[in-house]
A and B are shown apart, each in its own frame.
Chain A
Amino acid sequence: MRHIISILLENEAGALSRVAGLFSARGYNIETLTVAPTEDISLSRLTIVTSGTDAVVEQITKQLNKLIDVIKVVDLSEAAHIERELMLLKVRATGKDRDELKRLADIFRGHIIDVTESTYVIELTASGSKLDSFIQAIDSGLILETVRTGVSGIGRGERILKV
């Protein structure tokens, strides 16, 4: 099962390596990992997408909580939540592909943010699986570069992760 784990941690040097190191040391898998400071500069918010059985995910949250720099851990996917990921896709855009790519970008509510004679850069923000579908929808031969930020997530409504 895929889980989105959200972590509040001290914005200290090395805090990120503690989290990443824990995953590699204990053989947990990381699909994506994003981290940035919050409105409180002393705090970072980290989002990890991982997968595993219930027992493994239970261990992951317990082990994360054990890290001294970690303040709070929540498994967002346990309840209603929103997930978003930003992708920048550079594609070969020539001839009739130019129109087709533009149409596809519109269908997926993406934007073309850079245009040259032969390339587009398409920006798309959506859930991870939506980004996957977009990539699949495009002729793989046209894709020149894929840059994804990794998933960010937040609980819906009054579900708030704060110190």
Chain B
Amino acid sequence: MTMMTGAEIVIRCLQEEKVDYVFGYPGGAVLHLYDALFKQDQVKHVLVRHEQAAVHAADGLARSTTKVGVALVTSGPGATNAVTGIATAYMDSIPLVIISGQVPTEYIGQDAFQECDTVGITRPCVKHNFLVNDVHNLALTLKKAFYIANSGRPGPVVIDIPKDITAAKCRFEYPETIQLRSYNPVVKGHLGQIKKAVHLLLEAKRPMIYTGGGVILSNGSEQLTRLTRRLGFPITNTLMGLGSYPATDRQFLGMPGMHGTVEANLAMQHCDVLLAIGARFDDRVIGNPMNFTSLPRKIIHVDIDPSSISKRVKVDVPIVGNVPDVLEEMLKLLESGNAGPDAEVLAGWWKQIEEWRGKQCMKYRMKKSVIMPQYVIEKLYEVTGGKAIVTSDVGQHQMWAAQYYKFDQPRRWLNSGGLGTMGVGLPYAMGASLANPDMPVVCVTGEGSIQMCIQELSTAKQFRLPIKIINLNNRYLGMVRQWQEMFYGSRYSESYMDSLPDFVKLAEAYGHVGIRVERPEDVEPALKKAFVDHKDDLVFIDFITDQKANVFPMVAAGKGLADMILTEDL
């Protein structure tokens, strides 16, 4: 066996892990690594314009595929710039490996140039992290990192590598499999518990299925769809779970929570048996937990992470396991017993739900002279035939995209649900576009969010990524403005965006196509122009939208799910 440098070993490990793209930014501490990258062409490097975007783009790649996203940053500011991206991925359990350069081992602790305690800084927002102290441990550490990132409840793993380690040499050996005595995620659910759950489901008079990002992360959509159809129960997907059950199906009640539909929220609130799968009873989903638990209902909770179970809401039947495995067991039990729920009882429950659905809570009033943001999303859905990968930033546009674009498949809707990071939309679209070159990729954003990572228009040009940016430009930090209007006496403190750039010219300056749309009748033609005429270009469409449009329904923070504010237009 030949001797290899640490840098060569790292790149070789990435090859072994079948990594196609590394998103990164070079610097002093990673020069050996960049030199090793240069000498091969299997792993392609995407040069971003800011390290935050490197991690977001790797995250977008991971969300839109089943692969681990990889980012490479230098020490000090390279690592600190990456922290927002890492924390974003951590909150949504996205498998990432982030390699950061570190000052040479002997300089650590000396306040060296571009030194920071990367392992210390990232510790609270990673699944795990490593500081490599010997080149002989390097390959094994990479193996561990990929394994930890993409097993159990996934998450980001940081590997901090001092510069001298990347220059040191040793023989390369990559273990095929790995076992850690301190880490053994449970896969199979407890059969007794699963039986109890199925029994409870069949006895239910007002059943409800509520699923989150865990179903998508575990690739359990197919099993979920089969189980839901077999049971005939109503289902809701959280913001992170959209696409795990077809949104166009009649059994789907829309999204629950703060901006959920009336039917989803009331069914969550009034069900007598709730089957929660890969979800975590987030404050944006169940509202006030005291209010939520004040109503009697049995809860079955399937999750791979035991700490997610009974964290915010005490559950009756906890099932720790991998979602598709557990659902497969449930299906087996249903099929072998040839059992089904009582059709008559279920019909009564559906009648109630249809009554709630009849309220048409998502209706909004069109205006003649000004574009309604919801309308843009509806048209986007039509023009793309519901087949695009849609990323979003954070704010009103994110909620409208989640509400009005109907996702029928998993891994088509990428957004920062947990951390709520503005600026993810464009880098997510970059990662998704590279990983899915045959799919249309759309970034729904606002004039506030897009400016948080606007520099990536340059990366998108370099790599010819035909992303379509839908900028819902209302000249306000819309969600902040909405809360100020509703809860702060319309005192719009610092939420108006003054001195905005001319986005059309800005897009053109970066070498892209820019379109401005100001009238409702121009929305559809502009979208068609972008998706048909400029199929292979990045198109930035700046939609000048209604300034006062609010997201409804809305459950105010701290309120119960049934306490919804509905649109004033109805």
Contacts and interface: CB of A to CB of B under 8 A. Distances in A.
B359 interface: no
Contact of A71 (B120, B124, B182, B311): B182
B124 A25 contact: yes
Interface residues of A, number: 20
A163 B148 CA distance: 20
- Could you say which of A13, A25, A55, A68 has the most chain B C-beta atoms within 10 Å of its C-beta? A68
Nearest to B306: A62
B120 A10 contact: no
B316 to A, nearest CB: 15
Nearest to A10: B182
Interface in A11-27: 13-14, 17-18, 21, 25
Contact of A65 (B120, B124, B127, B306): B306
Nearest to B157: A68
B528 interface: no
Contacts of A14: 119-120, 123, 129, 131
A58 interface: yes
A9 B182 contact: yes
A62 B305 CA distance: 9
A69 B314 contact: no
Nearest to A63: B307
Nearest to B308: A62
Contacts of A68: 127-128, 148, 180, 182-183
B181 interface: yes
Contacts of A58: 310
A68 B1 CA distance: 32
Contact of A62 (B124, B183, B307, B314): B307
B122 to A, nearest CB: 11
Contacts of B129: 14
A23 to B, nearest CB: 11
A25 B183 CA distance: 22
B305 A66 contact: yes
A59 interface: yes
A35 interface: no
A69 B182 contact: yes
A4 interface: no
Interface string A117-156: 0000000000000000000000000000000000000000
Given A18-B123, A21-B124, A59 B182 contact: no
Interface string B310-331: 1100100000000000000000
Nearest to B184: A71
Contacts of A69: 128, 182
Interface string B459-500: 000000000000000000000000000000000000000000
B123 A66 contact: no
A13 B160 CA distance: 13
Nearest to B120: A17
Contacts of A59: 307, 311
A55 B309 CA distance: 11
A18 B305 CA distance: 18
Interface in B90-134: 119-120, 123-124, 127-129, 131, 133
Contacts of A93: none
A10 B307 CA distance: 21
Contacts of B182: 9-10, 68-71
Given A13-B131, A55-B310, A63-B307, A163 B123 contact: no
B381 to A, nearest CB: 39
Interface string B165-199: 00000000000000011110000000000000000
Contacts of B180: 68
Interface string A26-57: 00000000000000000000000000000100
Nearest to B144: A68
A55 B124 CA distance: 22
A59 B120 CA distance: 23
A9 to B, nearest CB: 7
Nearest to B127: A68
B317 to A, nearest CB: 16
B181 A55 contact: no
A69 B119 CA distance: 14
A143 B129 CA distance: 44
A14 B311 CA distance: 26
Interface in B123-152: 123-124, 127-129, 131, 133, 148
A62 B303 CA distance: 13
A63 B123 CA distance: 14
Nearest to B305: A66
Contact of B181 (A18, A63, A66, A71): A71
Contacts of A55: 310, 314
Contacts of B307: 59, 62-63, 65-66
Contacts of B128: 68-69
Nearest to B153: A66
A11 B120 CA distance: 17
Interface in B492-545: none
A62 B308 CA distance: 9
A14 B120 CA distance: 8
Nearest to B309: A62
Contacts of A70: 182
B187 to A, nearest CB: 16
Given A68-B183, A163-B181, A21 B306 contact: no
Contacts of A25: 124
Contacts of B119: 14
Contacts of A21: 123-124
B438 to A, nearest CB: 37
A63 B306 CA distance: 9
A42 B100 CA distance: 27
A62 B304 CA distance: 12
3 closest A-B pairs by beta carbon, nearest first, are: A62-B307, A68-B128, A71-B182
30 contacts: A10-B182, A13-B131, A13-B133, A14-B119, A14-B120, A14-B123, A14-B129, A14-B131, A17-B120, A17-B123, A18-B123, A21-B123, A21-B124, A25-B124, A55-B314, A59-B307, A62-B306, A62-B307, A63-B307, A65-B306, A65-B307, A66-B306, A66-B307, A68-B127, A68-B148, A68-B182, A68-B183, A69-B128, A71-B182, A163-B181
Given A9-B182, A63-B307, 20 more contacts: A10-B182, A14-B131, A17-B123, A18-B123, A21-B124, A25-B124, A55-B310, A58-B310, A59-B307, A59-B311, A62-B306, A62-B307, A65-B307, A66-B307, A68-B127, A68-B148, A68-B180, A69-B182, A71-B182, A163-B181
Interface of A: 9-10, 13-14, 17-18, 21, 25, 55, 58-59, 62-63, 65-66, 68-71, 163
